[in-house]
Amino acid sequence: MNLSDLLSKGLVEKFQSDQVQIKNEMDISKNDLTSAKKMLTIQEWGWAHNAAYNAMLQAGRALMFSKGYRPKS
């Protein structure tokens, strides 16, 4: 599925973001990644996976924001 498909299906919308919003998303992503690393040190594999996955999602949102889009939910 490409961007045109996502837009036409209403899954993504154009969005006017600013640097503060992008930075906030990246800060959340960095915090989640730090948490994931800490969970690995105490062998909490499931929590580490969840935190790392969330870090990836937040970084993806930051990328979308930087390109002028956001997921529509």
Mean residue pLDDT of the chain comes to 96
Q: Is residue 1 part of a domain?
A: no
pLDDT tens, position by position, 49-58: 999 999 999 9
Q: Is residue 6 part of a domain?
A: no
pTM of the model: 0.88
Full DSSP string of the chain: --HHHHHHTTSEEE----HHHHHHHHHHHHHHHHHHHHHHHTT-HHHHHHHHHHHHHHHHHHHHHHTTEEE--
Task: Provide the number of structural domains found in the chain.
Answer: 1
Q: Is residue 54 part of a domain?
A: yes
The mean per-residue pLDDT over the stretch 8-19 comes to 95
What pLDDT was estimated at residue 24? Answer: 97
Which residue range(s) make up the domain with 30? 16-71
Q: Is residue 32 part of a domain?
A: yes
The mean per-residue pLDDT over the stretch 21-33 comes to 98
Confidence of residue 73 (pLDDT cuts 50, 70, 90): confident
Q: Is residue 44 part of a domain?
A: yes
Q: Is residue 9 part of a domain?
A: no
